[in-house]
Structure 1
Amino acid sequence: MAGILRPRGQAAKVVPVELFFDLVYVFAITQLSHLLLDHLGAAGAAQTLLLTLAVWWAWMYTTWTTNYLDPDHPTMRLTLAAMMLAGLAMAAALPQAFGPRALWFATAYVVLQVGRSLVVALAARHEPIGHTFRLILGWHVISAVLWVGGAFAGGTAQVVLWVVALAAEYAAPWHGYRLPFLPRATTADWSIDSGHMAERCQLFVILALGESILVTGLTLAGGDHLSVATVAAFAIAFLTSVAMWWVYFDRSAEAAAEKVAESDDTGRLGRSAYTYSHIPIVAGIIVAAVGDELAIAHPLGPISPGTALTVLGGPALFLAGHAVFQRVVFGRVPASRLAAIAVLVVTAPVVLLAPSLVPPLALAGLAAVVVGGAAFWDSRPA
């Protein structure tokens, strides 16, 4: 496996095979948004959240892998192709992951995580980062038992075991993947190429926004009658997507990559800024896409709890995630971000108390104005 490691000290580029790999996650995001749309209740939201966290974790570990290993190396190309196949099976099983395809989902997820970790542990066995990935492999093997066991158990036991598995995986980086009789990993060993990591996360945000636009377009195309209200709701949904793109990409995206690169501990800051802080950003976009679809489908109907919570909650979650991202990287949260979140959060209970007074079209318009206002405020000359 000579030459499989990326040389440090020179900027790593995102290469076409990584973009090809991401196509699987376009499908996964679509599956997640449809899952939430079809199950707009507390249980459905909880299941969608758990599966979103699993999908994100699978993608993020691949991003960390290609930050260290050259994705254009033949071994890595084959590994990425195998992970695409496992990822496609995982995404296909998402709508029934808590039903008849639980084992399908769990097996695909385990194959993806364990298989990739094994390849990296072998490829980097003589490098400092190799120890970290051997620990990661150990944790994924342990959690694999919980994933597969939960799939066999079904029902409440499945939920409990999958929550425990996911919690263990998410907690592992914070304690250095500690395992008995082995030295823990430290973030000093995780020196990353911040430009590559930032670009990969930016591309995932673009994928999520692309799903939002796809959902709104398909909803409009599938309508039997294009009323003025329907077209207006479509336009508002598009503007909301533009505003979210503007908030994320206008200034902070590139500035954050530079800030991480200047850090004395790029592994620690990169872990917080990209591995964790981007979760509510992506989840917010997915939830907002569901709200857009509901608003376009019934622009003048009464507000249902699901419509109100997705139309307002999606942008609020996105803005909250971006606020956390800015706090982690720059040490501050813009007051405009807090004000925008407050408006969206306060509006939700008011609307739910009088659902017939505010149609989904107006609510979507309010969300667009709030997110657009945050984007405008950020764009002012310094």
Structure 2
Amino acid sequence: MRARSRDEAHRASTPLELFFDLCFVVAVAQAGRQLVHALAEGHPGHGIIGYLMLFFAIWWAWVNFTWFASAYDTDDTLYRVVTLIQISGVLILAAGVPRAFDNGDFAVVWFGYLVMRLALISQCLRAAHGSEGAERRSSLLYAAGVSVCQVGWLALLFVPVGALPWVFVVMAPLELSVAAVTAQARQATWHPHHIAERYGLFTIIVLGETLAAATVAVQSALDENDELGTLLPIAGGGLLLAFAAYWIYFAVPIHLHLRSSRQAFAWGYGHYLVYGSAAAIGAGIEVAVEQAFGKAHLSTFAASACVTVPAALFMFTVWLIHSRHQKRGPAQQLVLPVSSVLILACTFAGEGAVLAAGLVASVTVAVGVTLTARQGTALQE
């Protein structure tokens, strides 16, 4: 297994990578469903903390595979078999999400991670065997770091439930540091265009799960109530938010920004908030639907915040780590930050909050398109 060239032409996602991404839909759906239940029952603290912890586990498993594959994907028989083992670990993790969320029992989640990690470590050792010098040391260092972190996560199985967030606070930064430290050991071999495409595809996966969750919520409400007047503003606003999120994310060619490991890691790590907030929008729409029909134990304001807060966070984070690198002038730079504030303000719009947020997001897209067109005209002149 040799590192692939950073300048390889026509580098694109493989069917195996797409299959790997698809299997994460199950895990993302499980985390979102548990968040909905916690918020609808009036337990936002438990729901948000549990969601942040479990979504990190899901996202980080995807990140580990994605960056390694960008550097070393040989797509031979052994590589495919080991990747399928990693997929099995993802599905085990997904099966353990409800138990971890409800009871603080992370045994199944940890075992799923163990399956994925053993497969990843074997890939790293194979890469080390086929290389020498700094590349070999880097692969061995990464395998060692991943192994130590997996042992560290054992604390989740032995500490009291109340101490679980503290384990996360300690271990999550250690996980992030392993890849960052390893990247300093040698020149990176990941492919900028490939990484940008992989992250973009997973953005579509998460937004698709948001739309699916919202559709199920609306369908369930229609089965029990025949009040389209109540449902349509929520469904319409949610649809506009998802469409706007897609448009805004893919409005810039981000691979042009990913020139160094420092830039790429800051951008890649920031996607924890991008993906987490995008998936939470779908959960928020479900909560808003349940609240509208009296099935959720929270106020209209709180239900609206379940949609507007993650939507505003998505807008701001996409600007911070993604879009601002391609924006020119204060007008373009201010569009998304101002939009995030306005979407937050929609929380006070009562029963029309979700629709108002969707309309603000739509106007944001229109303003961005207009400013970009004007800039292109000015450059031509």
Q: Same fold (TM over 0.5)?
A: yes
> Does the aligned pair in 1 maintain the 2:335–2:364 contact within 8 Å?
yes
Residue 103 of structure 1: how far off its partner (Å): 1.1
Residue range with higher mean Cα deviation, 287-296 or 310-319 = 287-296
Residue 207 of structure 1 aligns with an amino acid whose one-letter code is I
| Cα deviation, residue 29, structure 1 | 0.9
Alignment TM-score, normalising by the size of structure 1 = 0.85
Aligned length: 355
The amino acid that maps onto 2:230 is: A
1:322 maps to: 318
Query: How far apart are residue 296 of structure 1 and its match?
Result: 2.9
359, 362, 367: which is aligned to 1:369? 359
Output the CA distance in 2 between the equivalents of 1:75 and 1:291. 42
Q: Is the 8 A contact 1:336 1:377 kept in 2?
A: yes
List aligned pairs for 1:1-382, cutoff 5 A: 1=1, 5-11=3-9, 12-40=11-39, 41-70=44-73, 72-98=75-101, 99=103, 101-125=105-129, 126-127=131-132, 128-174=134-180, 176-177=181-182, 185-186=183-184, 189-223=187-221, 224-227=224-227, 228-249=229-250, 251-252=251-252, 255-260=253-258, 263=259, 265=260, 267-273=261-267, 275-299=268-292, 303-304=299-300, 306-326=302-322, 329-330=325-326, 334-348=333-347, 351=348, 358-359=350-351, 362-380=352-370, 381=373, 382=375
What are the ranges of 5 or more consecutive residues in structure 2 without an aligned counterpart? 376-381
Which moves more between the two structures, 49-58 or 146-155? 146-155
Query: Corresponding residue for 1:354?
Result: none
Opposite residue 165 of structure 2, the aligned amino acid is V
Q: Flag the structure with higher helix content.
A: 2
**Secondary structure class of the residue paired with 1:334:** helix
Amino acid at match of 1:295: A
- Counterpart CA distance in 2 for 1:88 and 1:59 is 12
Residue pair 1:269, 1:329 contacting (<8 A) in 2 also = no
TM-score after normalising by structure 2: 0.86
Instruction: Confirm or deny: 8 A CA contact 2:49 2:165 kept in the other structure.
Output: no
Residues 82-112 of structure 1: per-residue CA shift (max 9 Å, x gap): 0000010001111211537411111211331
Measure the CA separation in 2 of the matches of 1:149 and 1:111. Answer: 18
| Alpha-carbon shift at residue 119 of structure 1 (Å) | 1.6
Q: What letter matches 2:62 in structure 1? A: W
Shift of 1:284: 1.3
- The more displaced of 201-210 and 91-100 is 91-100
C-alpha distance in 2, partners of 1:371/1:300?
Answer: 25
Offset at residue 71 of structure 1 (A): 5.0
Go from structure 1 to structure 2 and tell me whether the alpha carbon gap of 1:71 and 1:83 turns closer, same or farther (over 3 Å shift).
farther
Aligned AA (1:276): Y
Where do 5+ consecutive residues of structure 1 fail to align?
A: 178-184, 352-356
Deviations 1:47-98 (A, max 9, x none): 1101111211110110001101225221211111000000100011112115
Larger relative contact order (CA 8 Å, sep ≥ 6): 2
2-structure distance, mates of 1:156, 1:115: 31
For the 8 Å contact 2:23–2:87, the answer to whether it is kept is: yes
1:86 touches 1:108 (CA, 8 Å); kept in 2?
Answer: yes
Compute the displacement of 1:304 (Å). Answer: 4.1
